[in-house]
Amino acid sequence: MNNAATGEPLLAARDLVKTHGRTSALRGASLDLRAGEILAVTGASGSGKSTLLHCLAGIVRPDRGSVTYDGQRLDRLPEKRLSELRRTDFGVVFQFGQLIPELTALDNVALPLMLAGTPRSRAHERAGEWLERFGVRGQEELRPGEMSGGQAQRTALARALVTDPKVVFADEPTGALDSLAGEQVMTALAHTARESGTAVLLITHDARTAAYADREASLHDGTVVAEDAALEVTR
Amino acid sequence: MIAMSTRHILLGLLASGPSHGYDLKRRHDARFPQARPLAYGQVYTTLQRLVRDGLAEVEGTDSDGGPERTVYRTTDEGARELSRWAGETAPPAPFVTNEIFAKVVVSILGGGDPAAYLRAQRAAHMERMRELTAVKTAKGADLATVLSADYALNHLDADLRWMDTTAARLTTLTAEVDAA
Amino acid sequence: MTADLRLAWHLVRGSDRHEWWRIALTGVGALLASALALGAVVLGALRGHHPIPVADGLLDNPGERAGVVAALLLLLIPVLGFVGQSARLGAVHRDRRLAGLRLAGATPWQVRRIAAAETGLACLAGSAVATLACVVLMVRVGDHPSVWAWAGIAVVAVGVPVAGTLTGVLALRRVVASPLGTVRRARPRTRPGLMFFGAVALFLGALFVSYLSLDRRPGTVPTGPMLVVSGLALAGAAALWLVGATSRLTGRLLAARTGNPAVLIAAERLRDDPWAAARTHAAVLLVTVVGTGFVGVRQTLLEVLHSGKQVAEDLSFYTTGLDLTAAAIGVGLAITLAGLAVGTAESLATRRRTLAAQAAAGVPHAVLGRALLLETALPLAPGVLLAGLGGAAIGTGYASLTEGGGWSMPWAALLVPVAVYAASLLAAATALPLLRRSVRPAELRYA
């Protein structure tokens, strides 16, 4: 929030280069994410969107370039510290697969809190509140395989947000959903992020999903080709 | 085209009971939030045409403390016409006036930069989509607002997809237009 | 047929490393099975007193030879467990691929032939190596084997690949029946069905009949071996049931109570699919019973031998027998542990995308690793304890029944279950390096 006032980005990538084998996914991509904003990253398949997200979230290290979060160089942090940061300051939502299939919705959402040492009963209480907030009430004891795609994604959102993260990374969160379920997931994400001042980096190839963001950055062949600064964040 | 549907929409609004022109305009704008707002003049001329064609008639006047207003109600003929129109399928866009495509072709003919135009148009479309999304996700937005915003969003999205595939095939299009 | 073979070859070539592991391990399993069966056949074909220049004369006489043959055949049990576990490596991917073939219009028999070609050829390679080694060894020793021995060798050399092929075809029954079901189903249920118990019963029966036919004292029924085989079959079935039941029970109890994330993940996985590791875990329990019992018996026997009573042969004759038995149990344990390691690796490989997503969300590797080890440690603990007690009962029973009495109680035998438990955890831990490799971000987006 303070960062937004000073205009200092919360998360900044500079000239990222990353190659997978012989194909280069990123060739000098730069991007700023300000506190509390929702930023959509769009581009064709293979334009490097996911790799950019992985670098920004500290999941992979770029070959060259820097990623700065809250004054720390993520590309230089040791893996243990990165893992801790992803647990406490970041939340992630993928297209699917981020929930543990054997755990109930409630345990899946409570897991990040339990990892931080919260007692299970307290973690369950918080998880229940989040599930209710995302309209997954009465489904707490279901396992991901027993839920609809939309319910599972909203459970995944609850899991990503339960630790009150500063940034949520969402990689095609509606990619596997029909349009109504997708709308519900995006509305839930946008509302919660705006209320709690959480920044969101949203990867999507769908313009209607991208329209939930405050800004859009387009990726083409591993570089950011256009940034549309649009609405003021105050809405 | 617009006058035609305004006729039927006013008939539809009258179907729930007699009403005067100002009230009809107010209800129209509330019910169809993303549509172009009706002008008073248009409401009154349309009402007069409905009366002329026997689809509506004057019920009386109502002053209600303010200026005197003519109250209209629908006729049996009007009710029949309304149900006929409501059940009729809308023609699936027989002649799309594609201004964007026209601009791209003209831009190629005039030696301009169609790619830059498409990028700018894309940004404008996205901007409008973000506005509409903000309207429909605002706290307290009713379903009518959400649905009419969705209608507009889906049309803009279709334009965007078309622009993306066109931008990717500009070289071939330029060769084709220049050769013709 | 050649077209099917070529298609099978192309499919395997285009698949990832897990498939190669499965084929290689299947081949190794076939090699082990062939070697054991060949040994049993060659020894079983000998008639009467027949001096053999190895093992201190232990193989010279029919009575002892029969015991060795029985031991070799029993060792086939852990080998089959190992092959069963190896066959599951990457099987999810193979099943999806074959189901895809079915959807693309292949007939059920084409799919069966392709799968059978893969398994059968791997088994053929294994049995060919074993047979070649066996023949070379026999020629080197300079012995002249009977026609029966040659016939037996031929039967084993052909029988192992044929059995492997049949198993491959059987394992595909679900894919063939419903290609869509296999494509959509996330994880197969692994509860052992009638098919499995039927196969076990058939195997034990065949084992016993072949053993009886080898015994050439007409009219006598060898009660000793029959007791051992049926006792082991009973213990095996009990172990299998015990593992499944304790997995489910510990899973349910712990999942409801624990506050530890690693325990929670492991417990819910056990509760969800208690039979997943039952085959290898049951083999571990069998080895524990046999091992604990043997250590007890051995101690008593050695004391008897050194006391100088009731000794008809050279002392080394008996100690060699004991050492050979110990070696056989050791080999059984090693094969079982290998199966356990393969099974753990398989369980990691099939859910690598979920694991990668957990790591990306900041779940520490240590928690995922602990959960993996607990999946082995939790259900095995009560089973190994019981198996150890059972084995110790055999040992002490033998000691108290042995003539003369007053033999010391075999306390050392109690170390066996502890050692087996530790070794099982170590075997499961060999999969941990694979965990690190599994959690790559590349796994995040594609199924």
Enumerate helices (H) and strands (E) in chain B, giving the number of each. Answer: 8, 3
- Which H or E run contains B72? strand B69-74
pLDDT category at A145 given cuts 50, 70, 90 is confident
Residue C218 pLDDT exceeds 50: no
Contact in structure between B105 and B111 (CB atoms under 8 Å) = no
Tell me, yes or no, if C252 comes closer than 8 A to chain A by beta carbon.
Answer: no
Tell me, yes or no, if C441 comes closer than 8 A to chain A by beta carbon.
Answer: yes
pTM of model > 0.80: no
Determine the average pLDDT of the residues in C288-293: 87
- Which H or E run contains A32? strand A23-33
| DSSP state, residue C313 | S
B148-161 pLDDT tens trace: 999 999 999 999 99
Residue of chain A whose alpha carbon sits nearest to that of C357: A98
Chains near B, with 3+ CB pairs < 8 A? A
Is the pLDDT higher at C396 or at A51?
Answer: A51
Tell me, yes or no, if A219 comes closer than 8 A to chain B by beta carbon.
Answer: no
pLDDT category at C267 given cuts 50, 70, 90 is very high
* pLDDT number for residue A154: 92
C397-440 pLDDT tens trace: 777 777 666 666 677 788 899 999 999 999 999 988 888 887 77
Among candidates B119, B123, B126 on the partner chain, residue whose Cβ is nearest the Cβ of A211: B126
Q: What is the mean pLDDT of chain A?
A: 87
Range from B168-177, C50-59, C329-338, C430-439 carrying the lowest mean pLDDT: C50-59
Q: What is the mean pLDDT of chain C?
A: 78
CA distance readout (Å), A134 to A143, A159, B143, C214: 16, 11, 19, 71
Tell me, yes or no, if A80 comes closer than 8 A to chain B by beta carbon.
Answer: no
Q: A97 to chain C: which residues are within 8 Å by CB?
A: 353-354, 357, 444
pLDDT category at A14 given cuts 50, 70, 90 is very high
Residue C263 pLDDT exceeds 90: yes
A·C CB contacts under 8 A: 93
Residue B96 pLDDT exceeds 60: yes
Q: A214 to chain B: which residues are within 8 Å by CB?
A: 130
Among candidates A183, A216, A235 on the partner chain, residue whose Cβ is nearest the Cβ of B126: A216
CA distance A128 to A120: 12
Q: A235 to chain B: which residues are within 8 Å by CB?
A: 134
* pLDDT number for residue C223: 55
> What are the two backbone dihedrals, phi and then psi, of residue A17, each rounded to the nearest 5 degrees?
-125, 130
Residue of chain B whose alpha carbon sits nearest to that of A233: B134
Contact in structure between A88 and A162 (CB atoms under 8 Å) = no
B98-116 pLDDT tens trace: 888 888 888 888 888 888 8
CA distance B99 to B105: 10
Tell me, yes or no, if A137 comes closer than 8 A to chain B by beta carbon.
Answer: no
Calculate the CA C309 to chain-centre distance.
39
CB contact under 8 A, A230 and B130: yes
C118-130 pLDDT tens trace: 888 888 999 999 9
What share of chain C in percent tops pLDDT 90? 12
Q: Mind telling me how many Å the CA of B18 is from chain A's nearest CA? A: 37
* pLDDT number for residue C205: 67
Q: A231 to chain B: which residues are within 8 Å by CB?
A: 127, 130-131, 134
* pLDDT number for residue C413: 81
A94-128 pLDDT tens trace: 887 689 988 999 999 999 999 989 999 999 999 99
* pLDDT number for residue C52: 67
Q: Mind telling me how many Å the CA of A148 is from chain C's nearest CA? A: 15
Chain A residues within 8 Å of chain C (Cβ atoms): 20, 50, 54, 57, 59-60, 80, 83-88, 90-92, 94-95, 97-98, 100-104, 107, 111-112, 114-115, 119-120, 143, 145, 159-160, 171-172
CA distance C63 to C54: 16
State both tokens at A202. Answer: 């949203």
- Sequence-distant (6+) residues with CB within 8 A of C36 are C72, C73, C75, C76, C79
Q: A101 to chain C: which residues are within 8 Å by CB?
A: 186-187, 272, 351, 354
Q: What is the 3-state secondary structure (H, E, C) of C87-138?
A: CCCCHHHHHHHHHHHHHCCCCHHHHHHHHHHHHHHHHHHHHHHHHHHHHHHH
CA distance A206 to A202: 11
* pLDDT number for residue B152: 92
Q: Where do the domains of chain B lie?
A: 2-87, 99-179
Q: ipTM > 0.95?
A: no
C115-138 core/surface letters (b: 16 or more CB in 10 A; e: else) = bbbbbbbbbbbbbbbbbeebeeeb
pLDDT category at B132 given cuts 50, 70, 90 is very high
* pLDDT number for residue A235: 30
State both tokens at C19. Answer: 């498939």
C345-393 pLDDT tens trace: 888 887 888 888 898 888 998 999 999 999 889 888 888 988 888 888 8
Q: Mind telling me how many Å the CA of B153 is from chain A's nearest CA? A: 7
CA distance C389 to A99: 41
C42-93 pLDDT tens trace: 887 777 666 666 666 666 676 777 778 878 887 887 887 788 777 777 677 7
- Sequence-distant (6+) residues with CB within 8 A of B4 are none
* pLDDT number for residue C345: 86
A18-48 pLDDT tens trace: 988 778 889 888 999 999 999 999 988 888 8
Count of Cβ atoms closer than 10 Å to residue B89 Cβ: 5
Assign residue A36 a region (left: φ > 0; alpha: ψ between -120 and 50; beta: otherwise): left
CA distance A158 to C215: 69
Contact in structure between A10 and A23 (CB atoms under 8 Å) = no
CA distance C444 to C447: 8
Q: What is the mean pLDDT of chain B?
A: 85
Residue A138 pLDDT exceeds 90: no
C25-35 pLDDT tens trace: 889 999 999 99
Tell me, yes or no, if A90 comes closer than 8 A to chain B by beta carbon.
Answer: no
Chains A and C touch (3+ CB pairs under 8 A): yes
Name which of A49, A83, A142, A143 to mutate to probe chain C: the one with the most chain C Cβ atoms within 10 A of its Cβ.
A83
* pLDDT number for residue B6: 85
* pLDDT number for residue C216: 47
Q: Mind telling me how many Å the CA of C439 is from chain A's nearest CA? A: 10
Determine the average pLDDT of the residues in B41-49: 90
- The CATH code of the domain at B2-87 is 1.10.10.10
CA distance readout (Å), C48 to C64, C226, C412: 11, 22, 38
* pLDDT number for residue C227: 64
Q: Mind telling me how many Å the CA of A220 is from chain B's nearest CA? A: 12
Residue B5 pLDDT exceeds 70: yes
* pLDDT number for residue A233: 33
Residue C200 pLDDT exceeds 70: no
In sequence order, what DSSP letters do the residues of C391-421 get, joined into one string?
Answer: HHHHHHHHHHHSTT--PPP-GGGGHHHHHHH
Q: Report CA Rg, chain A.
A: 17
